[in-house]
Amino acid sequence: MKQFIKYTLGPLFLALSFSVLLSLVAGWVWGVVAFSLVMTGVAARDSWQLLTLNRLLQRHQMSAGHQLGGTWGQVFGQLYRLEKHAEQTQQKLRESLERFQHAGAALPSGVVVIDPAERIRWCNPSAERHLGIHLHEDRGQSLTYLIRHPEFGAYLKAPPSDRPLILRKVRGGDLSLSIQVVPYSPEERMLVSHDITQVERDEQVRQDFVANVSHELRTPLTVVGGFIETMLEGEPLDAATQHRVLITMQTQTERMRRLVEELLTLSRLESQQSAPDEAPVPVSALMQQLVQMGRQLSHGQHELEVTGVCEDSIIGSESELLSAFGNLVTNAVRYTPPGGRIMLSWKRERNEGVFSVLDSGIGIHPEHIPRLTERFYRVDRARSRETGGTGLGLAIVKQIAMHHDSRLEIFSESGKGSTFSFRVPAHRIVAPN
C-alpha cells in the first residue's frame, strides 16, 4: 500500500494539484492541458519500462533492471530474485542428474530404461556392453528388434516376475546374462542385466569336479567291491590267487587313500590366502630331501643329478615347498621311462630364485600345457593311473606357488622331455652375505 501511495497516488495527486492551481490562475483549459501532458508522460514512462522488461526477460538480464527506481525497479528486483532461484534449482537438478549418470555409468550391472513399446530411452555403459547397444545410435529403437532372442521378447511381453531370465551365448559369444525387468511407472520400465558368465563357469567347474571325484572313487571301489563279492559268494580261492587279489585290493585302497589325502590338501590350500608358519627354508636341505625322495621312487632306474646347491633360503612354509617340489620330482620319475635322466637345479635369474626339475621323459604336446594345473586334467589318464597319479599334483603345486608369490613355468616337447620351474620372487629369497 505504501508503495502504491508513494509511486502512484503521490504523483497523481501532485499532477492534479498542479493542474487545479493552473486552472485557477490561467483558466481551466490550461489546467486540463497540463494534466493530460503529465498523464501522457506517466503512460509513456510505463510503456518504456514494459518494453525494457520484455527485452531484459528475453535476454535473461534481470539484474540490469535493478537501477530503475520506483515500482518498476521493485518488479525487476522480484523477477530477478525469481530467476536466480530458478537458476539455482536448475543447477541443483543438473548436479543430481550428473551424479545419477555417473553412478549409472559406474554400475557393474546393466540398466536400460524402456517405454511401454519397449523402445530404449536411456541405458548405462554396462548395458551397452552386455546387450551390444549404443545409446547415441539406438535411442528410440525397439529393444526386441536389437536383441533377437525369442525368449527375450516373450519375457518382455509377459507380466513382471521375480524370476530372472537367463540368456546364454548372447551376441554369438560365450556371454551369459541374467535379466530382470522392473516396472516402476506406467510410462517406463527398467531392465537390469548381470554378467553371470564367470558364475556359470565356476558352477561348471564345480559340477565337473564332483563328477571327477565320484568317477575316481567309483573305479577302485568297484574293483574292491567285486573281489569281496567273489570271495564271499564264489568258490574258495587258492593261496596264490588270493594273494594276487589282496595285492590288487591293497593297491586300489591305497589309491583311494591318496586321492582323499590330496583332495584334503588341495581344499586346505585353496581355503588359505597364504602359507602358514613362514620361515627361511634352506634350499640345500630341501634339495637333499628331494633327491632322497626321487631315488626312492626311481629304484635306481634313472640317472638323478643335482646342480646349483647353495646357501640361499626361501621364505615360506617348509612343508608346502617340500610338497610342491616333491610333486615335480615325483612326476619327473613317473613320466620318464627307465634309463632316462632327471636333473634338479636351483639358480638365480634376475634376482628371482628358480627351482627346476628337468627330465628326458615322454614330454607333453603344447596344446595340453596351459591346462595341466587344472584339477584332474591329465594328458593320458591310463598312464597317470598306472603310475599312481591322481590328477591333482600340479593343481597343488599351483596353489602353493600362489601362497609364495611364485609361478610355475612349464617347457616341454613331446617325446623329448620337460622342465618344470618354480620361480620364487626376490623378496622371498635370503642369500648369504
Report the interface residues with ligand ADP, using CB under 6 A. 327, 331-332, 335, 359, 361-364, 372, 377-380, 384, 389-395, 418
Q: Please say whether the beta carbons of 164 and 180 come within 8 A.
A: yes
- Minimum CB distance to ligand ADP smaller for 62 or for 395: 395
Mention every residue, 6+ apart, whose C-beta is less than 8 A from residue 174. 197
Q: Smallest distance, Å, CB 294 to ligand ADP?
A: 12
**Other C-beta atoms lying within 10 Å of the C-beta of residue 219:** 14
* Cell reading at 45: 514512462
Interstrand relation of 303-307 and 341-349 (parallel, antiparallel or unpaired) = parallel
Which residue, 316 or 393, has its beta carbon nearer to ligand ADP?
393
Residue-wise over 339-351: b if at least 16 C-beta within 10 A, else e? ebebbbbbeeeee
Q: How far is the CB of 406 from ligand ADP (least distance, A)?
A: 17
Q: Which is nearer to ligand ADP, 294 or 391 (CB)?
A: 391
Edge-first strand listing for the sheet containing 279-282: 279-282, 313-316, 429-430
If the CB atoms of residues 255 and 403 are measured against ligand ADP, the closer one turns out to be: 255
Q: At closest approach, how far in Å is the CB of 226 from ligand ADP?
A: 24
| Rounded-to-10 torsion of CA 200, 201, 206, 207 | 70
Q: Are 57 and 63 in contact (CB under 8 A)?
A: no
Q: Do 327 and 397 contact (CB within 8 A), yes or no?
A: yes
Least separation, in Å, of the C-beta of 332 and ligand ADP? 5
Residue 25 CB neighbours (<10 A): 9
How near is the Cβ of 195 to ligand ADP at its closest, in Å? 31
CA distances from 159 to 148, 154, 163, 180, 189 (A): 20, 10, 11, 12, 12
Min dist. Cβ of residue 309 to ligand ADP (A): 21
| 111/379 with CB nearer ligand ADP | 379
In the complex with ligand ADP, which residue's Cβ is closer, 120 or 358? 358
Q: Which is nearer to ligand ADP, 193 or 356 (CB)?
A: 356
What is the nearest approach in angstroms of ligand ADP to the Cβ of residue 316? 20
